[in-house]
A = this chain, B = another copy of it.
Amino acid sequence: MDIPLTLASGTALEPSGVTVLFLSLAVLLGLARLLGEIARRLHQPSVLGEILAGVLLGPTVLSQISPSVYAFVFPSTGATFIALEGLFITSAALLLLVAGLEVDLTAAFRQGKAAIAVSLLGLVIPFLLGVVAAQWAPGFMGIGEGARDNQLAFTLFVGIAVSITALPVIAKILIDLNMFKSDMGMLIMSAATINDVVGWIVFAFILALLHTAADPSGVAVATQANGVPSVGMTITLTIVFLVFMLSLGRYLLHRSLPFVQAHTTWPGGVLSFVLVIALGCAAFTEWIGVHSIFGAFIAGVAMGASSHLRERTRETIHQFITNIFAPLFFASIGLRVNFISAFDPGLILVVLLIACTGKVSGCFLGAKWTGMSTRESSAVGFGMAAQGAMGIILGQLARAADLITDELFVAIIIMALLTSLVSGPMMQKLLRRPTKRVLADLLSDRQFILQLKAVGVREAIAELSQRAAEILDLDPAMIDREVQHREQTMSTGIGNGLAVPHARLTEIKKPMVVIGRSPHGVDFNAPDGRTARLIFLLLTPRDDQTSQIELLRLIATTFSNEETYQRALDAASTTEFLAVLRVGDSEAPEHI
């Protein structure tokens, strides 16, 4: 189901091609990660920045500015192009493996009726809306050349494209809102899980349908001559594969994992085992005609819930794939399409409308039906609306199969991104949840005093208050007075070499931290008798009930790790100090 390519004959991976291969990878990965990080700093999903990198480096921008540079770095024919395609396809499969590994079907069904109701209504309503739109106005909706003879496949695709959810994005949102383990979090995760698995299965059937439609083009004929099964066979084999992998296959894998772990080096053996299974399933599903990434996803689902798959294995797979392969894949999307010439505001609006209203109202109704309040049901609806990576991958496949036009492809990507951007803030607003705070995000260079001059408690507080006042443009004496006053009621040395003098001020709107490092330690009268070498001045708004205690907890947990504490003392600059903090902060896993 890939873009048919024409190659200049005699092309091969020569040294110049290898140079371009590594150059392309370095530029793509570098810019994708850079913009991805910027997106995250703006509290947006990193996939936004990663796709933008591709847009900047692709036909939309770079090719307009300098066609020759674009043609050199990202050739669109030849051996390097094929080698890159191979890497992108592998990246997509590995990405879906990771998505599959996060699926816990057993836990999802354990949530019972509520999860199923939210999931199915959230799937059926946008699906129906999409189907109606595609059936009613296929031309406007962007039916592709490859679907002219098979409108059913196009119609079903539009239905699925507006009703899929993005499990990883949703997980990330819930973690950020600190409600991943809450009842509502579990419900949303379960519903999204069922939604995803059902959605992908329907998509596999669309690809099977398309298998016939593509025949006249000559591509599938050639492959069928290679011994690829017919459509009836494709559907039968897909069902057999699915049923096998989610029942006996899942059981066998669960039983195999401890065996592999017992008899191979660790964690390498399990790591390779997981990849071999995923690659094998990918080859199988590609062979039967439903795309490799479906096989990789189902392989992930079959292994992900196994209690024998250890955290360290997951972590290694997850880190490497989400930080290397995922950015490469998402950036590669922008390399293929001109986002400006294929930008159709009307179509984008319609797709957005269908996806949002369909998804939110469907899930709202499902949640309402199981007895939730209107406010909670709305939160569930918005929580489920994030389409993120999944919608983008679907769009990419459909476009490669020529099922949709570039216009619809661009509309789907924008819809997938916008729903992911809106989902978190809407839930937060509806539930009035504070976001999870990360210490390093609150800090800038000016908020560090690497060498406190003070020897005693009073001077230390004065020195820190002075700095806080400079940054906040407030009266230093006032801050000092408030903090000293608080310090007298009870000493703020909390042990482990830490002290947290603090005050609540009416004058400020958000929390402020200033960190001072004392070369010899200041005696804050800590319970363990240690002098404080790291002193945190915490200033929080008077009417903010939670920030102070949360910051206290953050500081205590971050520096309870002796290595983090020691590294903080050794840091040679504020940047190094910040680096230490960021490592100490990161407990929750990252998600796409």
Contacts and interface: CB of A to CB of B under 8 A. Distances in A.
Interface of A: 1-2, 4-16, 18-23, 25-26, 29-30, 33, 37, 40-41, 46, 79-80, 82-87, 89-90, 93, 219, 222-223, 226, 228, 257-259, 261-269, 271-273, 275-276, 279-280, 282-283, 286-287, 289, 292, 308, 310, 315-317, 319-320, 322-324, 327, 440, 571, 573, 575-576, 578-579, 581-583, 585-586, 590
Given A86-B82, A259-B579, A268-B590, A15 B37 contact: no
A263 to B, nearest CB: 7
Contact of A13 (B15, B33, B86): B86
15 contacts: A2-B14, A7-B10, A9-B9, A21-B89, A22-B279, A22-B280, A26-B283, A29-B276, A37-B265, A259-B579, A262-B579, A266-B586, A268-B322, A271-B324, A272-B324
B223 A14 contact: yes
B14 A4 contact: yes
Given A1-B15, A320-B320, A280 B586 contact: no
- A contact patch SS: helix
A39 to B, nearest CB: 11
A40 B12 CA distance: 37
B2 A15 contact: yes
Contact of A9 (B8, B287, B316): B8
A283 B9 contact: no
B279 A25 contact: yes
Contacts of A93: 22
A368 to B, nearest CB: 37
Contacts of A87: 83, 86-87, 90
A590 B222 CA distance: 45
A266 to B, nearest CB: 5
A6 to B, nearest CB: 6
A90 B17 CA distance: 12
Contact of A10 (B6, B46, B582): B6
Interface centre among A13, A89, A575 (most CB of B within 10 A): A13
A295 to B, nearest CB: 8
Contact of A262 (B15, B269, B440): B440
A291 to B, nearest CB: 8
A310 B583 contact: yes
B19 A287 contact: yes
A319 B279 contact: no
The copy count of this chain in the complex is 2
Given A79-B82, A279-B29, A272 B323 contact: yes
A259 B575 contact: yes
A86 B5 contact: no
Given A12-B82, A21-B283, A272-B324, 17 more contacts: A2-B14, A5-B79, A9-B9, A9-B10, A18-B286, A26-B279, A33-B272, A37-B264, A37-B265, A83-B83, A258-B579, A262-B576, A264-B582, A266-B586, A268-B322, A271-B320, A316-B320
Contact of A258 (B7, B29, B575): B575
Nearest to A256: B575
A13 B89 contact: yes
Contacts of A323: 268-269, 271-272
Contacts of A327: 272
B16 A6 contact: no
A115 to B, nearest CB: 28
Contact of A324 (B18, B275, B282, B581): B275
Interface centre among A7, A15, A93, A226 (most CB of B within 10 A): A15
Nearest to A227: B16
Contacts of A12: 2, 4-7, 82
Given A6-B10, A11-B7, A283-B23, A226 B16 contact: yes
Contact of A89 (B18, B90, B262, B308): B18
A324 B271 CA distance: 8
Contacts of A271: 319-320, 323-324
A414 B525 CA distance: 68
A268 B590 CA distance: 8
B261 A33 contact: no
B286 A15 contact: yes
Given A15-B1, A320-B316, A324-B271, A21 B86 contact: yes
A575 B264 CA distance: 12
Contact of A319 (B268, B286, B289, B581): B268
A40 B265 contact: yes
Contacts of A579: 257-259, 261-262, 308
A515 to B, nearest CB: 14
A278 B90 CA distance: 20
B319 A19 contact: no
Contact of A83 (B82, B259, B272, B279): B82
